[in-house]
A and B are shown apart, each in its own frame.
Chain A
Amino acid sequence: MNDKPITGEKKVFMTGNEVVAWAALAAGAEVMFGYPITPQNEIMHYWTRLAPKYGRKFLQTEDELSAGFTLIGGVLAGKKAFTATAGPGNVLMQEPMSMAEAMRIPTVAVIQQRGGPSTATVIYSQQEVNLTCFGGNGEGLRVVYSTSSHQELFDYTIKAFNTAWKYRFPTFVLADGYQAKMRESLVIYDPFEKMEMVEPEPFVGKPGTPGVDRKPAHLRNAYSVEEELYEALSKDIADYEKAVPELVEHESFNTEESELLVIAHGVVYRSAAMAVKELAEEGRKVGYFRPITLRPFPQEQLKEAARKAKQILVVESAYGQLYRLVRENLYGADIPLKTMFMPGVGITPEEVREKCVALLDGKEA
């Protein structure tokens, strides 16, 4: 049996789903739980093809509810485990993810957003931002990384395991059908050679007598007294707030010079960045801000980036899901917010450029 899936570095050309499978392998994930749904199916396909060669496991469950709960079971047993889903599957996944939130279980889930609501399209969208950040009956104590390229899919899938196991919050890699299905180049590597990898440990069934040799494992998702819940939640919220500065990630360009600040995330950010860079080269006063973590949101960083902006343009393949986050996190700033909402369809650099030019020239209010 092979031990290491990747040694050193290797340039490859593959689909995003294949990238995720390789990243999970490289990160040392021991088991995947999943149920098929387009456009994430090939994550399972590649995983089931690759996993046995490296002594890793796979379980196909009867639906996404089960996939989520078996994932929690795997993690409780101390395994680095993950799942992948999309669209209606992501909806079903919210119940177990809510439990993971309640019990601070370091689950990792890769979401390949498809069109919504309901079955809609198998293709693409950015309409699962609300769901992935705040789904479930809770406060959204989660970490959500929005990737934009295959390199990031690889890097952040690996990072998701480390973040989850370090901070003990459910962690998501939020990509989309485009990233799932497209092919582009990236460099894959063995993360154990490059960075410190957080090791998993069992939550239950540890050696020794509980209460004598060690503290008993006391994992709860149910409380009979409201104050008890409040106390437990307050602690989790405090932990989350404390971790925020370490977790938030963003990228920005030309914000010091820009009158128009374009905000986009995920694959749409690439179109926005291309349009903005072209316009900046032509001497237009335009920059961009891209949140990499949608949850927690890089609030301070956005406020700083928007300081000089006279107007802001939010671009997304959804009808205001990123916009809501931006508005909430910019509360108090007196800057007009313009929008380019294209729910469920891809956005090209040409389209962003056209909108930017109209706004810069004052041709569009």
Chain B
Amino acid sequence: MGKVTRIALAGEGGQGVQSVAQILTEAAELEGKEALYIPNFGIEQRGGVSIAFVQISDQKIPAPKFKTGDIVVALSDRAVRRVQVHVGSETVFVYDASIEGVEEDLPKNARKILAIPALEVANKKLHPRVFNVLIMGAVIGATKVVSLEKAKEAIEKRLGYKFEKSPELQELNFRALEEGIKLVEGMEVE
């Protein structure tokens, strides 16, 4: 069986983890890879912890859900606690450095734990609305599952209609993607 990269993204409803998963898997499709993405959410439309399970491989993905991710991303305190079960000894655990009061809840068994200042960078250097694209960049930087070029193409595919109205959005999204990749550079996640 071919190597499958397993990614779990968790955040509060509205933080955009499902969009990230969708764009990421579309980028994998454009790359000619196999991808499987399954959302997991409660009855509430906003406010619950939302998890996206993503798998990318050169071959057909066997099963939709997995227990342990290669990379697990948590974007809120509740998400940090919720995704513990998906962390194993090979997992790179990524969380936003601005999340407070979770020191005790960080997984003890992860291969590596990375606190990235995504929210801060989004707010200060970019725009809060591209926070999730920044996260997508960090995931791509850490896993190399898709190329920057295909990631941009997938963003274009999904948000192109918005870019037509306001071209500066395209530049903002692409910059967020690159900043995201930079966030994990030199962190030796490979």
Residues A183 and B67 in contact, CB atoms below 8 Å apart: no
Residues B62 and A182 in contact, CB atoms below 8 Å apart: no
Is A346 interfacial (CB-CB < 8 Å)?
Answer: yes
User: How far, in angstroms, from A181 to B1 measured CA to CA in the complex?
Assistant: 25
B residues within 8 Å of A by Cβ?
Answer: 1, 22, 25-26, 29, 34-43, 61-68
Is A271 interfacial (CB-CB < 8 Å)?
Answer: yes
Residues from chain B with Cβ under 8 Å of A279 in the complex: none
Question: What are 18 A-B contacts with C-beta separation under 8 Å?
Answer: A13-B29, A121-B43, A122-B42, A178-B64, A182-B38, A183-B25, A183-B36, A184-B61, A185-B29, A185-B35, A274-B62, A274-B63, A346-B64, A348-B65, A348-B66, A348-B67, A349-B63, A350-B67
Residues A181 and B26 in contact, CB atoms below 8 Å apart: no
A residues within 8 Å of B by Cβ?
Answer: 13, 121-123, 178, 181-185, 267, 270-271, 273-274, 277-278, 346-351
User: How far, in angstroms, from A183 to B43 measured CA to CA in the complex?
Assistant: 20
Residues B64 and A267 in contact, CB atoms below 8 Å apart: yes
Residues from chain B with Cβ under 8 Å of A277 in the complex: 1
User: How far, in angstroms, from A209 to B1 measured CA to CA in the complex?
Assistant: 64
User: How far, in angstroms, from A26 to B38 measured CA to CA in the complex?
Assistant: 25
Residues from chain B with Cβ under 8 Å of A184 in the complex: 34-37, 61, 64
User: Which of B34, B39, B40, B67 interacts with A185 by CB under 8 Å?
Assistant: B34
User: How far, in angstroms, from A278 to B4 measured CA to CA in the complex?
Assistant: 14
User: Which of B22, B41, B62 interacts with A183 by CB under 8 Å?
Assistant: B22
Task: For the A-B complex with A178-B65, A184-B37 known, give 8 more contacts whose Cβ atoms are closer than 8 Å.
Answer: A13-B26, A182-B64, A184-B35, A270-B62, A274-B62, A278-B1, A346-B64, A349-B62
User: How far, in angstroms, from A171 to B84 measured CA to CA in the complex?
Assistant: 42
Residues from chain B with Cβ under 8 Å of A122 in the complex: 42-43
CB-nearest residue of chain B to A270: B63
User: How far, in angstroms, from A348 to B53 measured CA to CA in the complex?
Assistant: 12
User: Which of B34, B40, B67 interacts with A351 by CB under 8 Å?
Assistant: B67
> Total A-B residue pairs with C-beta atoms closer than 8 Å?
64
Residues from chain B with Cβ under 8 Å of A178 in the complex: 38, 64-65
User: Which of B34, B39, B42, B68 interacts with A181 by CB under 8 Å?
Assistant: B39
Which of B1, B26, B62, B64 has its CB near the most chain A CB atoms (within 10 A)? B64
CB-nearest residue of chain B to A268: B63
CB-nearest residue of chain B to A273: B62
User: How far, in angstroms, from A238 to B66 measured CA to CA in the complex?
Assistant: 44
User: How far, in angstroms, from A183 to B26 measured CA to CA in the complex?
Assistant: 9
Residues from chain A with Cβ under 8 Å of B22 in the complex: 183
User: How far, in angstroms, from A183 to B65 measured CA to CA in the complex?
Assistant: 12
User: How far, in angstroms, from A122 to B45 measured CA to CA in the complex?
Assistant: 12
CB-nearest residue of chain B to A349: B63
Residues B35 and A13 in contact, CB atoms below 8 Å apart: yes
Residues from chain B with Cβ under 8 Å of A274 in the complex: 1, 62-63
User: How far, in angstroms, from A13 to B38 measured CA to CA in the complex?
Assistant: 13
Residues A181 and B38 in contact, CB atoms below 8 Å apart: yes
CB-nearest residue of chain A to B65: A346
Residues from chain B with Cβ under 8 Å of A346 in the complex: 64-65
Q: How far is the CB of A293 from chain B (nearest CB, A)?
A: 22
Residues from chain A with Cβ under 8 Å of B67 in the complex: 348, 350-351
CB-nearest residue of chain A to B86: A348
Residues from chain A with Cβ under 8 Å of B35 in the complex: 13, 183-185
Which of B35, B38, B66 has its CB near the most chain A CB atoms (within 10 A)? B38
Residues A270 and B64 in contact, CB atoms below 8 Å apart: yes
Q: How far is the CB of B51 from chain A (nearest CB, A)?
A: 11
CB-nearest residue of chain A to B38: A182
Residues A348 and B37 in contact, CB atoms below 8 Å apart: no
If the complex has contacts A13-B29, A121-B43, A122-B43, are A350 and B36 also in contact, measured as CB distance less than 8 A?
A: no
Q: How far is the CB of B74 from chain A (nearest CB, A)?
A: 19
Which of A185, A270, A271 has its CB near the most chain B CB atoms (within 10 A)? A185
User: Which of A123, A267, A348 interacts with B40 by CB under 8 Å?
Assistant: A123
Residues from chain B with Cβ under 8 Å of A185 in the complex: 29, 34-35
User: How far, in angstroms, from A351 to B66 measured CA to CA in the complex?
Assistant: 9
User: How far, in angstroms, from A182 to B38 measured CA to CA in the complex?
Assistant: 4
Q: How far is the CB of B10 from chain A (nearest CB, A)?
A: 15
Residues B66 and A349 in contact, CB atoms below 8 Å apart: yes
Residues from chain A with Cβ under 8 Å of B26 in the complex: 13
Q: How far is the CB of B3 from chain A (nearest CB, A)?
A: 14
CB-nearest residue of chain B to A150: B36
Residues from chain B with Cβ under 8 Å of A348 in the complex: 63, 65-67
Residues from chain A with Cβ under 8 Å of B38 in the complex: 178, 181-183
A-B complex: 3 closest residue pairs judged by Cβ atoms: A182-B38, A274-B62, A346-B65
User: How far, in angstroms, from A182 to B35 measured CA to CA in the complex?
Assistant: 10
Residues from chain A with Cβ under 8 Å of B34 in the complex: 184-185
Residues from chain A with Cβ under 8 Å of B68 in the complex: 350
User: Which of A121, A123, A182, A347 interacts with B36 by CB under 8 Å?
Assistant: A182
